[in-house]
């Protein structure tokens, strides 16, 4: 992550700034560009619209680093309700989960048990569970918990981050498990001993990992990026690929490009976040792009 991104994440951790964004109209307006709504019904409406355009979806009930068991169990139950809604509305989609939302960090066994419950319910409704990748401090633990659930149920997938030095080696553990693998650049501020710092290094790692995943017919790669150059590399490899693959993009980001890809019948899944706990997700989207911060500041000063 560059200097700008780190600065944004640093500033947005301040309580005053958080209140300025969560309690004001410009802040909530910015959140609505990237978040489908605060309720499951709103997320399902967005999913139905995206399915109608030809995109599959991954529903993310926002929340991370919950504080206690009660919150972790509530998060699991919200996801069970989300899976039931996917089944009831016949949505072409799955769920994306952060293990820290299910208790990883203070009760790893609970997080593993909840992931098991989600995988079982997903099997009942004929879908899958994607596990998001969080900060590097929990990469190993995330892979361990994911591996247990994937071995038991076989219907999960995991995100990996091209900015981490360790990812190439982690794929030697992850690929044989057979789940889908979402390749993204990585959205957290990480130190240089664990992560590439320059854009060029992160991009070139992304291309190498795209090559590795797209050349293996037994893995289902999901190339998760809005970066035209990265997508072009993936497209060239897709042309000669026999196995399944897809592209993934975030709700509200580069929507014109999403429409173009759907018009060209490219396989696209849109990650649809929803829920009241949207603040940390929004700060990462602001850190990725100066224009998102400018949008907020302009609206705030106008207001």
Ligand X SMILES: Cc1cc2nc3c(=O)[nH]c(=O)nc-3n(C[C@H](O)[C@H](O)[C@H](O)COP(=O)(O)OP(=O)(O)OC[C@H]3O[C@@H](n4cnc5c(N)ncnc54)[C@H](O)[C@@H]3O)c2cc1C
Residues serving a catalytic function are 132, 182
Q: Which residue has the tokens 């650049």?
A: 185
For ligand X, which is the closer residue by CB, 122 or 270?
Answer: 270
Question: Nearest approach, Cβ of 70 to ligand X (angstroms)?
Answer: 25
For ligand X, which is the closer residue by CB, 112 or 184?
Answer: 184
Binding site for ligand X (CB under 6 A): 132-133, 159, 161, 182, 184-188, 224-227, 248-250, 253-254, 271, 285, 288-289, 292
Question: Nearest approach, Cβ of 65 to ligand X (angstroms)?
Answer: 14
Question: Nearest approach, Cβ of 205 to ligand X (angstroms)?
Answer: 12
* Alpha carbon distance 271, 224 (integer Å): 9
Question: Nearest approach, Cβ of 197 to ligand X (angstroms)?
Answer: 14
For ligand X, which is the closer residue by CB, 88 or 199?
Answer: 199
Neighbours of 217 (CB within 10 A): 11
For ligand X, which is the closer residue by CB, 180 or 182?
Answer: 182
Question: Nearest approach, Cβ of 285 to ligand X (angstroms)?
Answer: 4
């Amino acid at each position: 992550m560059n200097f700008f991104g780190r600065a944004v994440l640093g500033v947005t951790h301040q309580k005053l700034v958080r209140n300025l964004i969560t309690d004001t109209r410009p802040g909530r307006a910015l959140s609505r560009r990237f978040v489908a709504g605060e309720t499951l019904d709103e997320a399902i409406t967005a999913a139905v619209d995206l399915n109608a355009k030809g995109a599959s979806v991954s529903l993310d009930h926002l929340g991370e680093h919950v504080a206690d068991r009660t919150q972790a169990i509530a998060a699991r139950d919200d996801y069970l309700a989300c899976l039931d809604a996917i089944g009831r509305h016949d949505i072409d989609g799955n769920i994306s989960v952060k293990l820290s939302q299910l208790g990883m960090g203070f009760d790893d066994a609970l997080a593993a048990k909840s992931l098991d419950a989600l995988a079982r319910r997903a099997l009942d409704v004929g879908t899958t569970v994607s596990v998001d990748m969080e900060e590097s401090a929990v990469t190993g633990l995330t892979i361990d918990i994911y591996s247990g659930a994937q071995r038991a149920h076989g219907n999960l997938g995991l995100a990996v981050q091209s900015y981490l030095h360790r990812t190439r080696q982690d794929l030697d553990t992850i690929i044989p498990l057979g789940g889908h693998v979402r390749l993204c650049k990585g959205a957290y501020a990480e130190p240089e001993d664990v992560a590439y710092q320059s854009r060029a290094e992160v991009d070139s790692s992304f291309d190498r990992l795209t090559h590795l995943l797209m050349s293996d017919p037994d893995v289902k790669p999901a190339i998760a990026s809005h970066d035209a150059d990265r997508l072009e590399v993936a497209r060239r490899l897709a042309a000669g690929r026999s196995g399944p693959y897809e592209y993934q993009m975030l709700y509200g980001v580069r929507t014109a490009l999403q429409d173009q890809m759907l018009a060209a019948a490219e396989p696209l899944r849109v990650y649809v976040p929803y829920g009241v706990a949207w603040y940390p997700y929004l700060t990462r989207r602001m850190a990725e792009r100066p224009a998102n911060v400018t949008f907020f500041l302009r609206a705030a000063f106008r207001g």
